[in-house]
A and B are shown apart, each in its own frame.
Chain A
Amino acid sequence: MNQSLTTAEPMPEQGVSPEPVLVFQNVSIAFDGPPVLEDVSFSVGPHETRILLGPAGVGKSVLLKLANGLHCPDQGKILLFGENIVKIAEAQLFPLRSRTGMVFQEGALFDSLSVRDNVAYQLIQEHVPDEEIDPRVLEALRFVGLEETFSLFPGSLSGGMRRRVAIARALINHPALLFYDSPTGGLDPITSTTIIEMIVKQRDFYKTPSLLVTHRLQDAFTMCSHRFDPEQSGMVPLANGETDANTTFLMLNEGRLIFDGSLQELVNSEDEFVREFLE
């Protein structure tokens, strides 16, 4: 998959396996205390964007790390690209992880490396020649609108810029599945909208399946009700109040998955907690 990150044409949807790229089956995990997640089951289909909602401290980030094999569950099964990643050795996980992209809560950029080396980290480890790395890094940075930060260090970037660089790092190797951990957490509304626009742009062009964690309803609804318009080079609302059919919701409360469905189903939910959360 060598398509440019800034291409104007959306990716065709042909030849995609109908199998889900990520499946959770009755997953539970605890850390020296009561369970953080209990009996969680859901899946992420090809081209699907799943938004995981829930209050702070409910286990959303833990779920995301489980999905990428960064934590091991106590019970249950996690299938990543069809392979059960539970109880397999770390060394066997690396090739699977390299097919995913992950954006961490605070960006998690390597402070001692320049933006170029951060974004190119995976390529450098794969011994890709420098002459190939630089254009690809510039391409990824252009996608997030930060081409000018190429030779800067993370310490000199703002919080929003760090997140955008983290998105560029996650996208550079054309991942088959993306994880976003609260990409707009702690950011001002304007920067948050810019980040959401990046994610919508990625979703609409690459159609890469993704799992996005957030507790900001506004971001979730914006993602569902907007599309990226290449002509305007920005996000525009979908016509007639439509919503993106491939963007669906999950909601966690007290370690349990209490909702799995579309935006319509979410707003019409009878569940007391869901209603309270939406209000």
Chain B
Amino acid sequence: MAFDTIEKTAKQIVLTVQDYSLFSWRAAINLFSPPVYWVDFLLQSEIIGVGSTTIVLLAGFFTGAVLAVQSAATLAQFGATAVTGRFVSMSMIRELGPVLTGIMVSGRNASSMASELGSMVVTEQIDAMRALGVDPMRKLVTPRLFATVSMLFFLTIISDAFGILGGAVVTIYMNGQNGTQYFSQAYEFMHARDIMQGLVKPLFSGFIIASIGCFYGLRTTGGTEGVGRSTIQAVVSASVLIIFVDLLISQVMVALFNQ
């Protein structure tokens, strides 16, 4: 009996992964054949990009600030408070900026995509769209996917910039250190490989957020209760997957650049 349950669950997981892979593949290749809904792409870019700017900006600023507070206390024990700028910028650009932005945008947009598409499923709007001769994958999923990937890239840059700024505010006004020293440390030790590592991650995170959000949204069953369930599944799966993929990319990057 227990083996039956395990077998059934294992098959279900494999089937879901297979469905998700096919779904993502279809959503991605739709961009290379007509019709492409550019207006929907711009609309989604506005909703995802402009709409998330405030939370990303604030999260980045406070993360940078708290990094400066914590690192200054530890670095002071070694007499190395001068490298706070380097520490904050490195941490923000390589790791915290991309991951935190991904998780913030996931909380805001993966949930909104899952609930919006889920509601459309349970009210038969998706069927209506298909009946009217429009492919929901092309009309709803592909624009969201590419809008999230492109917008998350720029949101990460904003988050990095405001994180470094947040660190600077704490370093200068709370720790009473020299601002020029902070920024020169932040700039001098920054390498192209660090920036590349930080900007490759949002491309993957953006893909995860939109594909997971749309995937769970379009699989919604069970009325309004099902919409809630899809939303939770989308946010949880996207957040966990972002951190897991971040680990994989970090490993690959460290192996590639040997640091």
Residues of A within 8 A of B (CB): 65, 68, 70, 90-91, 94-95, 97-98, 100, 102, 104-106, 108-111, 121-122, 125, 169, 179
Q: A97-B132, A110-B128 are in contact. List 14 more A-B contacts (CB 8 A).
A: A68-B131, A90-B130, A95-B133, A98-B132, A102-B131, A104-B127, A106-B123, A106-B124, A108-B125, A108-B127, A108-B128, A121-B132, A122-B133, A169-B132
Q: Is the CB of A104 within 8 A of B132?
A: no
Which one of A70, A91, A102, A106 lies within 8 Å of B135 (CB-CB)?
A91
Interface size class of B (residues with CB under 8 A): 10 to 19
Residues of B within 8 A of A (CB): 123-125, 127-135
Find the B residue at minimum CB distance from A69.
B130
Cα separation A169 to B115 with both chains bound (whole Å): 25
- CB neighbours of B130 from chain A (8 A): 70, 90, 97
**29 A/B residue pairs, CB under 8 Å, sorted by A:** A65-B127, A68-B131, A70-B131, A90-B130, A94-B133, A95-B133, A97-B130, A97-B133, A98-B133, A100-B131, A102-B131, A104-B124, A104-B127, A104-B128, A105-B124, A108-B123, A108-B124, A108-B125, A108-B127, A108-B128, A109-B125, A109-B128, A110-B129, A111-B125, A121-B134, A122-B132, A122-B133, A125-B133, A125-B134
Within the complex, the shortest CB–CB distance from B12 to chain A, in Å, comes to: 12
- CB neighbours of B129 from chain A (8 A): 110
Q: Is the CB of A97 within 8 A of B124?
A: no
Cα separation A56 to B25 with both chains bound (whole Å): 38
Within the complex, the shortest CB–CB distance from B239 to chain A, in Å, comes to: 27
Within the complex, the shortest CB–CB distance from A50 to chain B, in Å, comes to: 18
Cα separation A6 to B215 with both chains bound (whole Å): 42
Within the complex, the shortest CB–CB distance from B75 to chain A, in Å, comes to: 51
Within the complex, the shortest CB–CB distance from A221 to chain B, in Å, comes to: 27
Within the complex, the shortest CB–CB distance from B121 to chain A, in Å, comes to: 11
Within the complex, the shortest CB–CB distance from B128 to chain A, in Å, comes to: 4
Within the complex, the shortest CB–CB distance from B17 to chain A, in Å, comes to: 19
Within the complex, the shortest CB–CB distance from B41 to chain A, in Å, comes to: 16
Within the complex, the shortest CB–CB distance from A62 to chain B, in Å, comes to: 12
- CB neighbours of B133 from chain A (8 A): 94-95, 97-98, 122, 125
Find the A residue at minimum CB distance from B128.
A108
Cα separation A70 to B124 with both chains bound (whole Å): 11
- CB neighbours of A102 from chain B (8 A): 128, 131
Q: Is the CB of B135 within 8 A of A90?
A: yes
Which one of B125, B127, B128, B134 lies within 8 Å of A94 (CB-CB)?
B134
Cα separation A32 to B141 with both chains bound (whole Å): 27
Within the complex, the shortest CB–CB distance from B44 to chain A, in Å, comes to: 12
